[in-house]
Structure 1
């Protein structure tokens, strides 16, 4: 491949199928992965009747600089399969011009996915004939993706990094991390003006550091998969949503940046104590609520990831006992008052006339 003096090259595809395939498995089948060092930017234009614009498959320790110049509304601008410890700078944007000054959708239309990363469709065998893992792992992506339905979709990926850049203006979701993906790190990326969700994370043990979300960050659920042990650190979001069955996620960020955002937690043991509510200029604490006291003894467990205060007043109470996750119930020695429960702690109230109980975040 020959690049211009400014280290750019353009390819146009007018047929069916995938426009360009970089396949290390085809080049070196006995090993299955291959280095590929790109010294300039390659722009590929496809057409609306074709499939994926660019397919990168079975590459190891590669350096790529790619631009999608339009393609099919049913396929990806870049489909990444079995990329390992590679570095990819990638643009898929209606605002980008190719080296001839043409807008990047001049070939076809906006693809369905800006970037879709997934496993190989067929197994790869090692020298002993045993199948090896073929998920994308520990690659670094530097994206500029705008105005496609889905920005980045990570399917069963491991340890990928998304650094800087932007994923914005997407019709549905900026970044989707599915339930089979883990240890993804996203640093300093701008997610804004996406018309559905900025980030939808269903995977586990992923970290988001200093990102900017202008709309909604969702810790989500899909069938048996639910987001767990993920962290948002720094940066800002407008709304943060923990859906049902999500657990042990941590948010330590600024939210409600428009004054109309919110934080909603329908999961268990999610931690939000470090969040700053910009719209109300206050650190967030979980709102007060009063559980229905029914049946003596009445027990209440803290199923949040933050410490909670429990007040017990009125009624006729004979004993209030506390249980921690590592021991049985122990007597508080009081029949009323305010008690602090750590996550998973249980307060048990024995009474003959029901007291009033209120719970709020610390």
Structure 2
């Protein structure tokens, strides 16, 4: 009998638009000969399953079940593709843990840590991972332009500490622009991160591992993608409106490629990650990679980084999806 798979999309942040596109991508990637697929929308005011006829039917929050043709149906597995809260910050993972529904991504604690950029970078820095200098502000806190520049220099990246897809991100080149940038970032999140600017080449590397530690463990680290944009940084337009050149494999040396792939694999294990993750870096002129952020529910449209890297590795995305799903059974 085919397993019922929920592709869980939506969310309560500005990233909902990207999440719904990722859900369409994942729907196209998963083997329909093996699984029955449904897109489940989870957002404030609506938990619903999209049926094959296009209609939406409510989800019972007690067990994440739904009705189809008058019959109650249960899911066997949830593929989480919510970018932002509640699917990337551990909240949905905690709910699925409580009702006993297997899911694709990192667990509750790891998701919560990686979603908080400041906490994640400080945690990994303890293990020797290179990170930018940073300052975190909670709502109600403030910092003077002079203090920020004294600690971080210019330019300064100002971003929501608990958001993604470059919503609310500003590259501040002049001190006078700092306070408006902080206000803008607070629109998107409850915490704001100020980071020192690191010049260099931006790259990203995907990874997944299935099975238990030991001989039966399958570890896959994908080819690296180089991100080139004429924009000030890899902003929303670069990510989603084509204002970028994405080169896979990246135009870096074999030695540096191996170094970044090894660091990505190490970060995966340090965190105790699960499912697909993507780690973003800036490579300084001296060849040292600095961590930018970790995506535990990376974008999964046909043109997203992970599908690009899967193709470059000579793998079939359908097989990767099957690995992720079957790892939970």
Q: TM-score, normalised by structure 1?
A: 0.19
Higher RCO (CA-CA < 8 Å; seq separation 6+):
2
Choose 1 or 2 for highest CA Rg. 1
Greater helix share, structure number: 2
Greater strand share, structure number: 1
